Structure 1
Amino acid sequence: MTPGRPAADEPEDGAGGLVIFLNGTSSSGKSSIAVELLRILDEPSFHIPVDAFHAMRTGQEIPADRLATVLHNTWRGYHRAIAGMAAAGNHVVMDHVLSAEWRLRDCLDLFVPQNVVFVGVHCPRAELERRERERGDRPPGLAARQLAQVHAHGLYDIECDTSRADPLQCAVRIKDFLTNRPTPTAFQRLRARQAPTT
């Protein structure tokens, strides 16, 4: 390899990959949209859900006094894994639950804001409760408890309602949005909100 030149599998321009950031409550339909996005996106992309990180953790029971720390560290690790994949030039579809305020702040600190498409995935409470009952693998009322915080920041690049559009329709809307993304992005505007004033 010539010194100073990238390897054959490294991008020439050093640009980071795009992060399509799906945020919504449990059972709102994020993973279903992500599956359709991977099927229709033009560029090779990875779907990296936070649930996959929780699933990789050891199956042994975590003592109650350590549970909060273990979960916090898992979320922090997830954010850094996404940032690392994007920094290496990979396109990533992540599905997330911003049900704690610090999670958004952490992502704003880590991600390149112009490379993030922030997608609000909405679903009415009654439909969320119906989906939870149908799934049977989530604590009853989990999604309803998350609703107040998940969308509290109130700012997205694009939003969808999965009670009105199916996963493929949502994915097509997101893909169409990618061809003409406005600036500043939602992440750029949210970062500006955080910046200390002098």
Structure 2
Amino acid sequence: MTERTKIIFIHGASSSGKSTLARAVQAEIDPLFWHVSIDHIRDSGMLPMERFRRGDFRWKDQRAAFFEGFHRSLVAYASSGNNLLLEHILEEPEWVSDLALRFQPFDVFFVGLHCGLDELVRREAARGDRKPGSAADDFHRIHKGQRYDLQLDAGQPVSNNATHLISAWTSRRGPSVFERLALEASETAAR
């Protein structure tokens, strides 16, 4: 039997430390994992960010197609046999069940990265590359009602969180949260 492609999905607020954690995990974990995020697309020049800033295009008009393409690309990467270390913010409530269904063929480990509000605001200001208030908005919304295979505190040292994540991922048993979410979404769709 062929082993299922693996996705470690790190979900957390803007500026919570998802990228830092993903890089630390990627440096230590076996087998090989691709590190994938929206920031990689934005920072690569793939999107005409300057034109959005100038007002040539409105992000609001492009957002739905962008995220649909991003979510489809994740499936394409994983379907080709690439293990993914995905960092993403589930900004829309329907994305959870949508991705659970899309990711059904894969072995998904869902990690919630939590960071205190004061620290998020401090990090966002220090970065200077985020819309002010994004981190606070995420803090109040994105973890509500979410179930995770593992929850981590961004206030802990990154190396500790990376070690804990790898250990929990390696020793996990039973169906993952995403497997249960996919089953629930399938049952809801069948009604």
TM band (smaller chain): 0.7 to 0.9
Aligned pairs, number = 185
TM-score (norm 2): 0.87
Partner of 1:57: 47
Partner of 1:142: 134
User: Any runs of at least 4 consecutive aligned residues in structure 1 with deviations exceeding 6 A, and if so which?
Assistant: none
Partner of 2:158: 167
Q: Name the SS of the counterpart of 1:151 in structure 2.
A: coil
Distance in 2, matches of 1:60 and 1:141, equals 21
Distance in 2, matches of 1:91 and 1:183, equals 20
Q: Does residue 42 of structure 1 match 2:26? A: no
Partner of 1:152: 144
Distance in 2, matches of 1:45 and 1:65, equals 34
Query: How does 1:17-166 map onto structure 2 within 5 Å?
Result: 17-55=5-43, 56-59=46-49, 61-62=51-52, 66-112=58-104, 115-163=107-155, 165-166=156-157
* 156, 171, 184: which one aligns with 1:180: 171
- Following superposition, the deviation at residue 144 of structure 1 comes to 0.7
Distance in 1, matches of 2:138 and 2:68, equals 19
Tell me the percent identity.
Answer: 30
Q: CA RMSD, aligned part only?
A: 2.0
Cα separation, partners in 2 of 1:142 and 1:66, compared to 1, 3 Å: closer
Q: Is the 8 A contact 1:17 1:87 kept in 2?
A: yes
TM-score (norm 1): 0.84
Distance in 2, matches of 1:134 and 1:118, equals 28
Write the letter of the residue equivalent to 1:31. S
Q: Is the 8 A contact 2:4 2:106 kept in 1?
A: no
- Following superposition, the deviation at residue 16 of structure 1 comes to 3.3
Distance in 1, matches of 2:106 and 2:15, equals 28
Higher alpha-carbon Rg: 1
* Higher helix content, 1 or 2: 2
Q: Is the 8 A contact 1:120 1:160 kept in 2?
A: yes
Q: Give a deviation string over 1:41-77, Cα, whole Å, max 9, x none.
A: 0111110111122332124524688532412211111
